Copies of this chain bind each other. A is one copy, B any other.
Amino acid sequence: MNAPRIVVLSTGSELTAGRSQDTNSSWIANELFGMGFTVSKFVVLPDDPKAIESELRTLAALGTVQTPVLMIMTGGLGPTEDDYTLEVACRLNGVTSVESKVARQRIEAFYRLRGRNFQEFMQTAIRQVSVPEGSVILNNTVGIAPGFIVALGEHANLGCMPGVPGEMTEMFREEFSPWISKTYAAKELYSGLRFIWWMSESQFQKEFVSKEESIASGKVIWGVAAKRGYIRVSFQSDERTLVEELLRKLDAVYGAKSTGDVFEELPKLLIEKKIVVGTAESCTGGLIAKTFTDAPGSSAYFYGGVVSYDNSVKAGLLGVRQETLQEFGAVSPQTAREMAEGALVALGVDYSVSVTGIAGPGGGTAHKKVGLVFFGIGEKGGETEVHEHYFPFPRSSFREFAAHTGIYLLYNRLTRSV
């Protein structure tokens, strides 16, 4: 079939009441984008079977031979009263529901191992293994309820998956996406990405994107996401060389400020070079250490950190001198330097990152404004680098800017020196 008009639907009254955030739709759209498909619309509906049925009917009616409709819906499959997706799908299609044998066997095997006490649970679980008659079954390898795909008329398909992200993502990747690729025509696409540090989306658009013929002509699709401290720029095209050329240009124009995904590359570099690192944080309050240890296996290169929020901890654990704190203040290049050097000793590491700044909203002065921040990069037996930055943003943004920048500065130091 031709490339479809894709609508991604999420159901849940907690979503339309604003109590929960729909993350499934974005995730699915991003996967589809990588597969060479684009999404026309997201729709989020409350747990109201009539509203859902009416929406699906309206959307299905838009399908044509030229542009068939593919609806991808999450939510409403499971054990509770809110779970009416199966019923709605059957009614739309004029069929009854039947049990998925695979799902039933999986559940029976699972509960058999657990013995007699689980008979009641098993019965509840088995009630969830039905799918509309004649549908394509999407197996659930994580949870209980299977998903399914049903045809609604000749030019529309409806795929339903559970709303639990852990079940949905697995089901989409393993079962649904192969079906989509087999059923609909998509382009083969090449993509590439760069982080550009301390850059705004609008400045980047003005000074780079607006001058690129391959983007203006639509041969390359570009995307940009503003992160704290950097923008994430991506290019996608069916011509690989156009993507590669843009990446080369970015590196040439932005130099060391153009990087790959630093959060993936820094760990690889540290492991490869057998370098162990640690942190000394004031204003970021542990966020740099937390970011380092987000990655599984980080114990191979991250020894630890000191969160020296109070000056007594800067002095006591990191050996920052009282004179330094009194003469230059806690937020100063001198303190950042002593924190970094103190962390090398206290933590017994090869390299250290220190940060001290004014996160706000309080604490600023005429000379040291909220947003001012100093970083130290310490090296055992080497020179300590000190960097000054100014991130005049709300507290939580400031802290993320500072944490990401600290990690970038270490990455930058290592790529220059090792």
How many residues belonging to A are interface residues under a CB distance threshold of 8 Å? 80
Give chain B residues whose Cβ lies under 8 Å from the Cβ of A19: 30, 33, 223-225, 234
A129 at the interface (CB under 8 A from B): no
The residue in chain B whose Cβ has the minimal distance to the Cβ of A32 is B18
A293→B278 CA distance, assembly (Å): 19
A310 at the interface (CB under 8 A from B): yes
* Those of A333-368 within 8 Å (CB) of chain B: 346-348, 359-362
A51 at the interface (CB under 8 A from B): yes
A15 at the interface (CB under 8 A from B): yes
**Across the interface, do B306 and A317 meet the contact criterion of CB distance under 8 Å?**
yes
**Across the interface, do B14 and A18 meet the contact criterion of CB distance under 8 Å?**
no
A296 at the interface (CB under 8 A from B): yes
Convert A279-306 into 0s and 1s, putting 1 for each residue whose CB lies closer than 8 angstroms to a CB of B: 1010011111110111011110011111
**Across the interface, do B46 and A40 meet the contact criterion of CB distance under 8 Å?**
yes
**Across the interface, do A25 and B44 meet the contact criterion of CB distance under 8 Å?**
yes
**Across the interface, do A346 and B316 meet the contact criterion of CB distance under 8 Å?**
yes
Q: How many copies does the complex hold?
A: 2
Convert A192-231 into 0s and 1s, putting 1 for each residue whose CB lies closer than 8 angstroms to a CB of B: 0000000000100100000000000000000111000000
Convert A29-43 into 0s and 1s, putting 1 for each residue whose CB lies closer than 8 angstroms to a CB of B: 111110000111111
Closest chain-B Cβ to A155's Cβ sits at a distance in Å of 19
Give chain B residues whose Cβ lies under 8 Å from the Cβ of A252: none
A307→B306 CA distance, assembly (Å): 6
A80 at the interface (CB under 8 A from B): yes
The residue in chain B whose Cβ has the minimal distance to the Cβ of A234 is B19
A30→B15 CA distance, assembly (Å): 9
Q: A288-B286, A306-B306, A309-B299 are in contact. Are A41 and B16 (CB under 8 A)?
A: yes
A26→B30 CA distance, assembly (Å): 20
* Those of A35-74 within 8 Å (CB) of chain B: 38-46, 51, 55
A313 at the interface (CB under 8 A from B): yes
